[in-house]
Amino acid sequence: MKIDVDQLAKHFAHIPFQVEGVYRYARDPGVPHADYTDSYPGFVFPLTGKVQFQFNGTPYILSPGKVVHGGAKMSLAQKMFGKTNWEYILVQYRICDAELEASSFSHQHFELATGHSPRLIELIMRLWHVYNQRGGISMFQTEMLFRDVLNEALLCVANRQNSYEPHALFERVAQYIHEHYYQSLTIASLAEQHNVNRNRLSYVFRRYAGMGPAEYLLKYRINMAQEMLVTSELPVQQIAQTVGIADPFYFSRVFKKQLGISPTEYREQFINNPC
């Protein structure tokens, strides 16, 4: 079943809920197969392998890159694919308001196509570890982490949906570059951050910027360096590091290639001709 991720986000933003259990299941050593889901709704986060679950007769393939939601007390069937191992984490939750619970998404089964998100996997593993600890702090951390997990999952889905619109993807990545150009960015990290592959990222930048993302990032860094050269007295080497270029010799070389003069000459030219 398809779900409106924006409506789902609004739902969880306005409805009180809490974690009832976090469980990790695997084919080996395996767990008994149930004919119905438990008394609480839950999200299934696949970690490895591939298995099919049917909620009330509707099949869902559980594999990394997807999150599946099942309602409470639904009929459940399971189908294996060969002898491959599989593993997933189930997070059950409870709606704390009986009136709101009656009209909530908790009675539905649906799938969220998150794509491969290392951060989502990291968060869900942390949630599982924290839940299995004792004490009030771990209970508090469990509730906070579950919300972080949901937030990351919903963002992954939204980003993947937006990535199908090339111009929206370009605007989003370009804005990210403008805000983080001074950090150690790579094309691989930009692609992973926005849940797209490198080829698609290169395509949209060449289409809307006339250059690849690496060249776009470098040009933006040089533009920021130009501004710093005429508005500050920082040494050239420090300016290079400030805009995210660690090697001052490389910085000077690409600066001269882009503007025709060295950073020092550019600064002197401005000082001599301030208008």
Q: Helix, strand or coil for residue 15? A: coil
Please check the confidence at residue 216 and state whether its pLDDT lies above 60. yes
- When pLDDT is cut at 50, 70 and 90, the band that residue 273 belongs to is low
Phi–psi pair at 233, nearest 5 degrees: -110, 20
8 A C-beta contact, residue 68 and residue 25: no
Mean pLDDT of 120-147: 94
Distance of alpha carbon 115 from alpha carbon 235, whole angstroms:
44
What pLDDT score was predicted for residue 90? Answer: 95
pLDDT tens for each residue of 154-176? 988 887 776 667 888 888 899 99
pLDDT: is 28 or 147 the higher one? 147
What pLDDT score was predicted for residue 172? Answer: 86
Specify the number of domains making up the chain.
2
Nearest to 177 by CA among 165, 190, 164: 190
Same domain? For 178 and 150 the reply is no
Q: What CATH number is given to the structural domain containing 109?
A: 2.60.120.280
Q: Helix, strand or coil for residue 36? A: strand
DSSP 75: B
Mean pLDDT of 212-241: 94
* Domain of 265, in residue numbers: 164-275
Distance of CA 139 to the CA centre of its chain: 25
Q: Helix, strand or coil for residue 273? A: coil
pTM score: 0.60
Please check the confidence at residue 6 and state whether its pLDDT lies above 70. yes
Q: What CATH number is given to the structural domain containing 183?
A: 1.10.10.60
Q: Of 103, 137, 163, which residue is a domain's last?
A: 163
Same domain? For 21 and 58 the reply is yes
Q: Of 106, 128, 163, which residue is a domain's last?
A: 163
Please check the confidence at residue 184 and state whether its pLDDT lies above 60. yes
Rg (CA), the chain: 25
Q: Where are the beta strands (DSSP E) in 13-158?
A: 17-26, 42-48, 51-55, 58-62, 66-70, 76-80, 87-95, 110-113
